[in-house]
């Protein structure tokens, strides 16, 4: 069984679709050598010297030329009365590509580059692609709604289901699978991905979809250069170009990588287009439609026609051969007595034989009969050999795919040897197998402790979940926070030194604000009912594309005001800064691990997210404001969080909505597991500050994090040692995002 529960090798013609399924998993990892080979990616500098603007001109010319090709095909279809067949073939065969629109940016954002303005602009593009703020509002979801409008409901399904539909040719999954695959390795292909993005934005609306507006289908959302009104004056292409300029300024090699990415996508789009055109032409041509239908039915038909002779051979024999090439059978039929060329009404094949008392009653569907009738009506006599064209066989599967599916991963990654090392290694996105195993183990241990802690905790979520319970619980909690603040002694004040030290020790945590939600930038998760609010929260943490609103940046400003200058979070120097205590990396490493495993630990992340978003609202953020003002420090960070995390329309309310959406799905699909999943959410909630972490300190009241992040925990230090010495140390995998 493959990792998604299907039997490998038993699916017919399925290499690309298997690969597509595999890389649709946000936790998947592929070796960069395999990806490069699968893509056939040219080395930087091998692709010519046109520069990005040259590629853009070529793409625009090609797009306009192909738009004319599709328009001509559409008018041919109209002349033959095949408009519906044409639109259907186009929609169905482009569905796999539409299912990944925007995916190439899904793996770019990472804690180590949270404060990078180029990354913030890329996130802005991704936010539009996923349709931030609403579930099922991505470009891919819009395409599904077009399928529904066109009556193609059988194809308006999840990517996984799409890849299991047998009538979609395997080769059409190649480009979507490669885009997904390369998106999972932004550490190795960051610049290439920027170039790919540039090429997509330059393409704007693909020529194959542009022609659909004649079918009253609204295709504007499929235009990758189009942003919604909130985006201001910039087009997506302008944003993408600005990002590419920032990358190109870093040196010649990086500029060449951008160009290689853009060139690769252009070439891949041309190949995709040729394949799509074959299917669209087949839908327009009565001969090709007929040929396709015969091919589809030939095998079953061959069982029944052993004794029926045509031109000296059994029809069964003709049908067996037609499975590979239907042309000779079509030619023979056009000469036979079953057909009157140019006159379907008088042709036995579609009158007497298929009548209720005919020998072939109900063999053909109405749609099949319509195909046959149009074919016969279009014939001027028996077919000459040149008139028919065979539907081409799919291209052979690439032998590199099985390797990329897991056999050939050379990079095993490293098992970090300390908390500081782990903090550094986890700043990126992709995790090679050994590092991923470390992340799993770290989270598992943390959750074991949280589970024990939950038994004695006073601040738990309700014991059972039910509709509406959580929102009520949230308001109660908020009331209590407010009450505690009112009852607190305004004179009780930590010292200036304590404030400065705590702000410093919280830096490894707060400078990666939102890191636990990193995995929810995955296209499918970010546009799902459960994940859309989490993506929106993450998007807010990073400042919605605006550096001034970036939470880590605001925190860093506060540190600076205290005279504390720290290295960039993604630099090794940050993790090794001696002013930061080892224990200050404990909770941040937990967050970093969670962010890499959004599927494995989804309920726990949902619970942890609520605990974090709620932690200071109404109470401790207000106390912190009092302390900070007292010493003349900026209150911007706590003020911002007391509003943006609010319990009615803010992050803590969204955190509850995400949990409710998740639990509703469990209730609907796996009711027997409801209690188990709820318990996992509760453990996740507890995991922000499991005992014995929760020490009474002013920091807890401050609520910018948990005391556990700051104070050493002698009781479990032995466990840490065991964890960090579990595996031998191997050379590091590449870390960090490159743009
Ligand atoms: Fe925040
Ligand atoms: Fe927040």
For residue 13, report the distance from its CA to the centre of ligand 1, in Å: 47
Looking at residue 736, what is its pLDDT?
29
- Classified as helix, coil or strand, 37 is helix
Identify whether the C-beta of residue 536 lies closer than 8 Å to the C-beta of residue 508: no
Taking the C-alpha atoms of residue 358 and residue 338, their distance in angstroms, rounded to an integer, is 13
Half-sphere exposure of 189 (CA within 13 A, CB side): 33
651 C-alpha to ligand 2 centroid (Å): 5
Taking the CA atoms of residue 206, residue 29, residue 683 and residue 588 in that order, the dihedral angle to the nearest 10 degrees is: -100
According to the model, what pLDDT value does residue 398 have? 53
Cβ-based neighbours of 302, under 8 Å, separated by 6 or more: 316, 317, 319, 320, 323
Residue from 423, 416, 383, 411 nearest 590 by CA: 423
Q: What is the DSSP string of 366-387?
A: HHHHHHHHHHHHT-SSSPPGGG
Task: Give me 6's structure tokens.
Answer: 């299907």
- Report d(CA 661, CA 667) in Å as an integer: 10
Q: What's the half-sphere exposure (Cβ side, CA atoms, 13 Å) at 714? A: 0
Q: How far is the CA of 610 from the centre of ligand 1 (A)?
A: 13
Decide if 150 contacts 91 (C-beta within 8 A): yes
Cα of 615 to ligand 2 centre, how many Å?
10
**CA 477 to centroid of ligand 1, rounded, Å:** 19
674 alpha carbon – ligand 2 mean position (Å): 27
Looking at residue 363, its pLDDT comes to: 80
Spatial distance between the Cα atoms of 204 and 416, rounded to a whole number of angstroms: 43
642 Cα–ligand 2 center, Å:
9
DSSP 447-506: HHHHHHHHTT-SSPPPSS--TTHHHHHHHHHHHHHHHHHHHS-TT----HHHHHHHHHHT
Residue 318, token pair as written in the block: 């003709």
Q: How far, in Å, from the CA of 551 to the mean position of ligand 2? A: 9
Ligand showing the shortest atom-to-Cα distance for residue 611: 2
Q: Which ligand is nearest to the CA of 613?
A: 2
Q: What pLDDT shows up at residue 718? A: 42
**Residue 228, SS3?**
coil
Answer for the pair 100, 174: CB distance below 8 angstroms, yes or no. no
pLDDT at 644: 86
Centre of ligand 2 to C-alpha 114, Å, is: 15
Q: Mean pLDDT per segment of 10 residues, for the chain of length 739 residues?
A: 46 84 94 92 73 96 98 92 91 98 97 93 96 97 97 96 92 97 96 98 98 90 87 87 96 94 97 96 86 87 84 91 90 90 90 80 84 89 63 49 57 88 95 94 94 89 94 90 84 89 95 96 98 97 91 96 96 97 95 98 98 84 86 91 86 96 97 98 95 48 35 37 42 27
Ligand nearest to the CA of 510: 1
Ligand nearest the Cα of residue 614 is 2
* Cα–ligand 1 centroid distance for 704 (angstroms): 9
SS3 state of residue 563: coil
Q: CB within 8 A of 653, min separation 6: which ones?
A: 471, 474, 646, 647
> What distance in angstroms lies between residue 645's CA and the mean position of ligand 2's atoms?
5
CA of 541 to the centre of ligand 1 (A): 5
pLDDT, residue 493, reads 85
pLDDT reported for residue 725: 47
Distance 636 CA to ligand 2 centre (A): 14
- Distance (angstroms) between ligand 1 centre and the Cα of 395 equals 49
């Amino acid at each position: 069984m493959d990792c998604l529960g299907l039997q490998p090798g038993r699916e017919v013609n399925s290499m690309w679709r298997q690969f597509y399924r595999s890389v649709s998993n946000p936790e998947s990892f592929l070796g960069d050598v395999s990806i490069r080979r699968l893509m056939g990616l040219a080395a930087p500098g091998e692709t010519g010297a046109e520069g990005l603007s040259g590629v853009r001109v070529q793409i625009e010319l090609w797009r306009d030329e192909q738009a004319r090709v599709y328009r001509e095909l559409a008018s041919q279809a109209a002349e033959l009365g095949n408009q519906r067949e044409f639109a259907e073939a186009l929609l169905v065969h482009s569905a796999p590509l539409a299912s990944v629109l925007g995916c190439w940016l899904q793996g770019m954002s990472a804690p180590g580059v949270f404060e990078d303005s180029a990354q913030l602009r890329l996130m802005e593009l991704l936010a539009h692609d996923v349709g931030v703020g609403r579930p099922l509002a991505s470009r891919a979801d819009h395409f599904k709604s077009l399928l529904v409008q066109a009556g193609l409901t059988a194809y308006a399904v999840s990517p996984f289901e799409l890849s299991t539909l047998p009538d979609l040719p395997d080769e059409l999954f190649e480009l979507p699978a490669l885009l997904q695959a390369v998106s999972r390795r932004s550490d190795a292909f960051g610049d290439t991905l920027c170039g790919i993005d540039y090429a997509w934005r330059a393409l704007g609306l693909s020529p194959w979809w542009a022609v659909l507006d004649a079918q009253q289908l609204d295709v504007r959302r499929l235009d990758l250069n189009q942003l919604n009104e909130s985006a201001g004056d910039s087009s997506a292409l302008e944003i993408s170009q600005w990002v590419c300029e920032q990358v190109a300024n870093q040196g010649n090699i990086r500029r060449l990588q951008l160009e290689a990415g853009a060139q690769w996508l252009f070439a891949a789009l041309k190949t995709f287009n040729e394949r799509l055109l074959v299917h669209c032409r087949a839908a327009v041509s009565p001969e090709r439609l007929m040929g396709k239908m015969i091919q589809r039915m030939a095998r079953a038909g061959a069982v029944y026609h052993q004794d029926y002779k045509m031109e000296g051979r059994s029809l069964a024999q003709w049908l067996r051969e037609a499975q590979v090439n239907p042309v000779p059978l079509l030619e023979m039929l056009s000469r036979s007595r079953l057909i009157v060329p140019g006159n379907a009404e008088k042709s036995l094949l579609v009158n007497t034989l298929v009548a209720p008392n005919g020998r072939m009653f109900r063999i053909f569907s109405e749609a099949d009969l319509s195909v046959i009738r149009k074919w016969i009506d279009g014939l001027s006599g028996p077919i000459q050999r040149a008139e028919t064209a065979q539907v081409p066989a799919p291209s052979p599967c690439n032998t590199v795919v099985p390797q990329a599916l897991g056999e050939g991963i050379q990079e095993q990654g490293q098992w970090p040897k300390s908390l500081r090392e782990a903090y550094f290694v986890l700043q990126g996105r992709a995790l090679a197998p050994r590092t991923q195993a470390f992340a799993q183990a770290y989270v598992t241990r943390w959750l074991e402790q949280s589970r024990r802690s939950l038994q004695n905790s006073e601040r738990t979520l309700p014991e059972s979940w039910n509709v509406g319970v959580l929102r009520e619980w949230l308001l109660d909690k908020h009331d209590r926070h407010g009450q505690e603040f009112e009852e607190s002694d305004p004179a009780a004040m930590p010292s200036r030194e304590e404030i400065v030290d705590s702000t410093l020790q919280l830096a490894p945590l707060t400078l990666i604000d939102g890191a636990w939600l990193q995995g929810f930038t995955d296209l499918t998760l970010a546009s799902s009912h459960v994940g859309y609010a989490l993506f929106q929260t993450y998007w807010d943490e990073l400042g919605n594309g605006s550096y001034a609103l970036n939470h880590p940046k605001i925190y860093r400003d506060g540190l600076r005001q205290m005279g504390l200058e720290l290295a960039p979070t993604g630099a090794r120097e940050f993790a090794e800064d001696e002013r930061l205590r080892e224990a200050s990396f404990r909770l941040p490493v937990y967050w970093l691990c969670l962010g890499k495993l959004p599927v494995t630990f989804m309920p726990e992340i949902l619970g942890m997210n609520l605990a974090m978003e709620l932690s200071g609202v109404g109470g401790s953020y207000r106390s912190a404001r009092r302390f900070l003002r007292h010493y003349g420090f900026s209150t911007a960070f706590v003020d911002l969080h007391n509003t943006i995390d609010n319990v009615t329309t803010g992050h803590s309310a969204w955190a509850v909505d995400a949990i409710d959406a998740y639990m509703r799905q469990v209730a609907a699909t796996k009711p027997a597991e409801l209690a188990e999943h709820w318990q996992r959410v509760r453990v996740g909630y507890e995991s922000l500050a499991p005992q014995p972490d929760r020490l009474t300190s002013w920091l807890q009241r401050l609520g910018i994090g948990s005391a556990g992040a700051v104070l050493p925990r002698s009781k479990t230090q032995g466990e840490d040692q065991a964890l960090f010495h579990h595996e031998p140390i191997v050379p590091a995998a590449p870390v960090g995002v490159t743009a």
